[in-house]
């Protein structure tokens, strides 16, 4: 952290403020920010005393080494490719790409430029997940056979609207498979496995809580991933109104380890599988491996500190991080192909090996996408029930909420 500071810029002045606040703790220096919402941009720019840009191309010409992409969830890949080609290292919020073509283009941009690329997926670095990785790597529970990752985040409608301004906002259209990284990435990080195929089902929930919602996409879904070691991972979420819960459970051939939101870890062995003196079951609160004082102050259970930390160190070491472009593209493919599977009632799909040019070549022109910007012949709906049309009452209510937060768009 005492090395020469890395000059960085952030696009997105909402979620992006987390990265802005934590930059200095990892030896990074915030020098510029970018957003099209000019009122918020100017306010945040004054707070952090940095250059502001409403134009991304001009922003990329600022004197800096790296860019953090905290713009809209489904828009990351084109912005990442531009930044990489401009000679900048990139840390991108999830998801990495919204189409298979974007996945292939992103991988090729990283390979061509040699710049550092990291997916800013913070959940693997929460306290419990880091401890599960440590336990798993000791071999205590054996090799993973099955695992479950759950990220379910129901939302009261007015709050949901406040973070989803605009009829075309990605949260209003997002199918349930497209936010898979919070559930899948921690399991990949713990077990060091990679998805190779999947099948998925969507749950078009009845809209009891908010019958007049402007949300188009389905609320929940289940994905079964076959991993490269033969194990099966069940991924569940995203916004079912049953319970707000974040949970990870790894079943090895010699035991089970799990973590709940808050960091507490449980390790279990059946009596005939435990070593002498080893308890059948233990539950405990682990400690941070290092930098606990900084992690404890950061958002998302400390994960927001660690993404900055690992990105900065990857740039200094000139070595791609664990959440590199290949793992990022694989998770994006789970999102995309997962929705294809949902629309075909659970049909299995293979996930390409993005390290192979031959494997990713067939997807170079695959622009299949449920988002409104890509609407046209052959494009899929965002719900099993089709592209729903919100009522006039729902639209009027949504615009009232958006006006209250200063949003002036449609």
User: For residue 392, is it within any domain?
Assistant: no
Number of independent structural domains in the chain: 2
Domain identity same for 131 and 278 = yes
Same domain? For 156 and 191 the reply is yes
Q: Is 408 part of a structural domain of the chain? A: no
393 belongs to a structural domain: no
Q: What is the pLDDT of residues 32-64, one digit of tens each?
A: 999 998 999 999 999 999 999 999 999 999 999
| 410 occurs within a structural domain | no
| pTM summary value | 0.95
In a domain, 288, yes or no: yes
pLDDT recorded at residue 187: 98
d(C-alpha 78, C-alpha 80), whole Å:
5
Do 168 and 88 belong together in one domain? no
The pLDDT score that the predictor gives to residue 185 is 98
- pLDDT, position 226: 98
Three-state secondary structure string covering the chain: CCCCCEEEEEECCCCCHHHHHHHHHHCEEEEEEECCCHHHHHHHHHHHCCEEECCHHHHHCCCCCEEEECCCHHHHHHHHHHHHHCCCEEEECCCCCCCHHHHHHHHHHHHHHCCCEEECCCHHHCHHHHHHHHHHHCCCCCCEEEEEEEEECCCCHHHHHHCCCCCCCHHHHCCHHHHCHHHHHHHHHHHCCCEEEEEEEEECCCCCCCCCCCCCCCCEEEEEEEECCCCEEEEEEECCCCCCEEEEEEEECCEEEEEECCCCEEEECCHHHCCCCCCCEEEECCCCCCCHHHHCCCCCCCHHHHHHHHHHHHHHHCCCCCCCHHHHHHHHHHHHHHHHHHHCCCCCEECCCCCCHHHHHHHCCCCCCCCHHHCCCCCCCCCCCCCCCCCHHHHHHHHHHHHHCCCCCC
112 and 153 fall within a common domain: no
First to last CA, the chain: 44
Rounded Cα–Cα distance for residues 121 and 330 (Å): 13
State the pLDDT at residue 160.
93
User: For position 210, what pLDDT does the model report?
Assistant: 65
Burial label for 335, CB within 10 Å (0-12, 13-18, 19+), is: buried
249: domain range? 124-298+323-374
Q: Per-10-residue mean pLDDT for the chain, 410 residues long?
A: 81 94 90 94 96 98 98 96 98 97 98 98 96 97 98 92 95 95 98 98 75 88 98 93 93 95 91 91 94 88 92 96 98 98 98 98 97 96 91 94 90
Helix axes 325-343, 100-113, angle to 10 degrees: 170
Q: Are residues 271 and 176 in the same domain?
A: yes
Look at residues 74, 92, 119 and tell me which one is the last residue of a structural domain.
119
CA distance 198 to 224: 5
CATH number for position 97 = 3.40.50.720
Token duo for residue 302? 């400390």
Q: Which of 340, 337, 346, 331 lies closest to 201 in space, CA to CA?
A: 346
Instruction: Answer yes or no: is 404 within a domain.
Output: no
One domain, residues 195 and 287: yes
Q: Are residues 105 and 139 in the same domain?
A: no
């Amino acid at each position: 952290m005492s090395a020469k500071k890395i000059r960085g810029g952030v696009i997105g002045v909402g979620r992006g403020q987390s990265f802005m606040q934590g930059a200095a703790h990892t030896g990074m220096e915030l020098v510029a920010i970018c957003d099209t919402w000019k009122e918020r941009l100017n306010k945040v720019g004054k707070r952090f005393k940095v250059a502001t840009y409403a134009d991304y191309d001009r922003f990329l010409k600022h004197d800096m080494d790296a860019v953090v992409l905290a713009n809209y969830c489904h828009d990351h890949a084109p912005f990442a490719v531009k930044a990489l080609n401009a000679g900048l290292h990139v840390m991108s919020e999830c998801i990495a790409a919204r189409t298979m073509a974007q996945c292939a283009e992103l991988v090729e941009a990283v390979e061509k430029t040699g710049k550092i690329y990291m997916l800013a997926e913070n959940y693997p670095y929460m306290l419990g997940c880091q401890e599960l990785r440590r336990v798993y790597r000791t071999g205590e529970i054996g090799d993973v056979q099955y695992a479950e990752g759950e990220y379910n985040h129901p939302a009261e409608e007015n709050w949901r609207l406040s973070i989803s301004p605009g009829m075309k906002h990605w949260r209003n259209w997002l199918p349930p498979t497209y936010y898979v990284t919070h559930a899948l990435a921690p399991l990949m990080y713990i077990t060091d496995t990679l998805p190779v195929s999947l099948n998925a089902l969507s749950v078009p929930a009845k809209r009891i809580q908010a019958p007049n919602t402007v949300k188009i996409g389905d609320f929940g879904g289940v994905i079964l991933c076959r991993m490269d070691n033969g194990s099966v991972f069940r991924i569940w979420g995203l916004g079912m109104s049953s319970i707000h819960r974040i949970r990870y459970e790894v079943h090895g051939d010699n035991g089970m380890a799990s973590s709940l939101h808050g960091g507490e870890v449980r390790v279990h062995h059946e009596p005939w599988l435990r070593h002498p003196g080893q308890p059948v079951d233990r539950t405990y609160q682990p400690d941070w491996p290092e930098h606990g004082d900084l992690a404890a102050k950061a958002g998302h259970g400390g994960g927001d500190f660690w993404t900055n930390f690992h990105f900065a160190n990857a740039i200094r070491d000139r070595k791609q991080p664990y959440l590199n472009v290949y793992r990022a593209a694989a998770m994006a493919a789970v999102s995309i192909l997962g929705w294809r599977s949902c629309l075909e009632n659970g049909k299995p799909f293979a996930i390409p090996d993005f390290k192979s040019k031959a494997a990713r070549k067939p997807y170079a022109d695959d622009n299949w996408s449920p988002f409104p910007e890509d609407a046209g012949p052959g494009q899929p709906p965002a719900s099993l029930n089709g592209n729903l049309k919100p009522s006039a009452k729902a639209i009027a209510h949504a615009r009232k909420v958006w006006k209250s937060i200063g949003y002036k768009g449609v």
